[in-house]
Amino acid sequence: METNPTDSKKPLKFKWFNVGQYTFEKDGRYTNHIGFDYIREEEALTYDALKIVNERIEEARQKALHGKLSPIVYFMEKTWMDPMTLSRFVGRSIFAVKRHFKPKNFAKLKSDMLQRYADAFEIPVEELKNFH
């Protein structure tokens, strides 16, 4: 994917668009202007959120490589999903999706279901089957 927000090769560069902000002044006026108020722009918390999400992705990748979790978890974190969103994408219940997180159950998946997961993550099926 071209616009993957969590591409770890590139350094994270914060390109924030300006946000409309209303402010309450001490004399009771409301003003409307563009830009961040509550924090300096380059300090915005999006950086910290990305850092934590990237840590999670790396953890899921290591677990998938060592066979503790299925690759579905890694791709789910990578595409900023959660079990609930993913269950809507593949058309199964949350419990069924969570079952597929175990490598034992993942190995039993039929090609039809694998294709649905691949479509949700926008990757070829081979990448899901032979994860390395």
Residue 23 near another protein by CB under 8 A? yes
Cα–Cα distance between 98 and 73 in angstroms, integer? 9
Stretch that binds another protein, among 29-37, 63-71, 95-103, 108-116 (CB under 8 A): 29-37
What single-letter DSSP state applies at residue 24?
E
* Under 8 Å between Cβ of 128 and 114: yes
Cα–Cα distance between 13 and 51 in angstroms, integer? 12
Q: How far is the CB of 50 from another protein (least distance, A)?
A: 7
Q: Which of residues 33-62 bind another protein (CB under 8 A)?
A: 34, 36-39, 43-46, 48-50, 52-53, 55
What angle, 0 to 180 degrees and rounded to 10, lies between the N-to-C axes of helices 71-78 and 46-65? 160
Residue 30 near another protein by CB under 8 A? yes
Tokens representing residue 33 in the block = 């202007």
Q: 50: how many CB neighbours lie within 10 A of its CB?
A: 14
Stretch that binds another protein, among 74-82, 95-103, 110-118, 124-132 (CB under 8 A): 74-82
* Footprint of another protein (CB under 8 A): 3-5, 14-24, 28, 30, 32, 34, 36-39, 43-46, 48-50, 52-53, 55, 80-85, 88-89, 120
